[in-house]
Structure 1
Amino acid sequence: MEKKRERIDIRVPIPLLRAIEKYQKETGIKTRTGAMMDLVRIGLKYKAPQKSGETF
């Protein structure tokens, strides 16, 4: 079963975008969206410990 997704549009400073693209290249992630989702997940795990059974 595919997880539902919602489209969002964001604007980021160019230096942040370059850092995201660098992360994407270093990790072999195919899309910028995938890299951004990965980085958000990492940030959420670091800043907000997950509740039991919660996944992103």
Structure 2
Amino acid sequence: MKNDKERVEVRMPKSIIEKLDKYQEENGLSTRTATILELLRKGLEK
């Protein structure tokens, strides 16, 4: 199925989390998950 989802746990430095949270706030994203997915998609499009 196209929308199958799998849980992934990722640990990252607090400095990266702070940048994620700032990006989330500046771009009006609802969750960290949404923020991470958006940034991953943007990176994979390159």
Partner of 2:41: 41
Structure 1: unaligned runs, 5 residues or longer: 47-56
TM-score by length of 1: 0.75
1:13-32 aligned within 5 A = 13-32=13-32
Alpha-carbon shift at residue 3 of structure 1 (Å): 1.2
**Which runs of 5 or more structure 2 residues have no equivalent in the other structure?**
none
* Deviation by residue 1:2-21 (Cα, 9 ceiling, x = unmatched): 71110000001011111111
The one-letter amino acid of 1:26's match is E
Size of the aligned set, in residue pairs, is 45
TM-score (norm 2): 0.89
